[in-house]
Amino acid sequence: MIELGADDVQAFERDGYVVIRGMLDAGQITAARGRFEPLFKGDFETGLKPDEWNWRDGRDSDLLTRQICNGWKADRTVASVVLRRDIGEACAILRGWPGARINQDNVIWKPPQAKALGFHQDDSYQGWIEPNEMMTCWITLDDTRADQGTIEYVRGSHLWPLSPPISQFHAPDDPLTDMKAAAAQAGVEPDVVAIEVPAGSAVLHHGRTWHGSRVNTGNGPRRSLVAHCASSEAQFHPDNVSPIYGRYKKAGSLEMDESFFPILWREDGYRTEWVDRYISGRA
């Protein structure tokens, strides 16, 4: 479980991220790892495709980092991790929200020699909601090392201005290009930190914290599950349309329907009522 102490809150406010160890136990790690190969081969437990399926077996290069978005809709094991109550609570507390809902998740698999993901700010991609804020819980299923393409953060970069989406997200030649330009504009020297932690650890990061990953030059895979949260009070933007997630907007309403963006935790004790039944296979 995620239990935030005063030191964790201070680290987050200072650095824009905080490391949490021991979030998953050995059984949970093994179960989650076991779902990666079926998912990327299109074996979807619930019968639903994820909203984004960016790498497909037999179609795409093995040198690309593999990514699925909203795997929770396709697989209950993924859902059991990314829809956790404590993730919502921690995200809400650190961002000062009254609660948190899942915005989307990522299932990320970086095999040996797989290419980089460009350094970016998550909030740059959230113009379709109001407030356009994210809070993220990144969870590693493998022991991470700097040479293994682990996630890297730019310490304190959540205090920089918000930049537009980066020029190339998948497999850029230099994943730090856009971040370096943003650092120069902010007048700071970037402090890049590679996260080296045991499997089952998590990092909570601010939506404006610059982060990304480089080529996996190690011998093993780097697999992770990522829960991106928004405020429980977030709504669709009245004018900016997401070509993917805009399909879940009700006609004549800005509401983010809990059928698609369930609330994980709210300070009054509320949690979307069907989530735990769904995870257990009863919904």
Place of tokens 């698999």: 109
pLDDT digits (tens, 9 = 90+) for 14-52: 999 999 999 999 999 999 999 999 999 999 999 999 999
Distance CA 57, CA 268 (A): 44
Distance CA 199, CA 264 (A): 23
Distance CA 35, CA 195 (A): 24
Closest CA to 104 of 135, 76, 80, 130: 135
Distance CA 227, CA 234 (A): 16
Closest CA to 248 of 129, 130, 98: 129
Closest CA to 128 of 260, 4, 274, 248: 248
3-class SS of residue 24: coil
Query: Domains plus CATH for the chain?
Result: 6-279 (2.60.120.620)
Statement: residue 207 has pLDDT above 80:
yes
Statement: residue 181 has pLDDT above 90:
yes
Q: Tell me how crowded residue 162 is: count the other CB atoms within 10 A of its CB.
A: 14
Statement: residue 283 has pLDDT above 80:
no
Distance CA 158, CA 269 (A): 29
Query: Could you give phi then psi for residue 146, rounded to 5 degrees?
Result: -60, -35
Angle among Cα 108, 113, 117 to the nearest 5 degrees reads 45
pLDDT digits (tens, 9 = 90+) for 228-279: 999 999 999 999 999 999 999 999 999 999 999 999 999 999 999 999 999 9
Distance CA 102, CA 130 (A): 14
pLDDT digits (tens, 9 = 90+) for 105-119: 999 999 999 999 999
- What does the pLDDT average to over 156-171? 97
Amino acid at 254: L
Amino acid at 164: P
Give me the pLDDT at residue 1, please: 87
| Contact status, residue 113 vs residue 158, Cβ threshold 8 Å | no
The full DSSP string for 158-185 is GGSPPPPPPS--BS-SSTTHHHHHHHHH
| Contact status, residue 130 vs residue 237, Cβ threshold 8 Å | yes
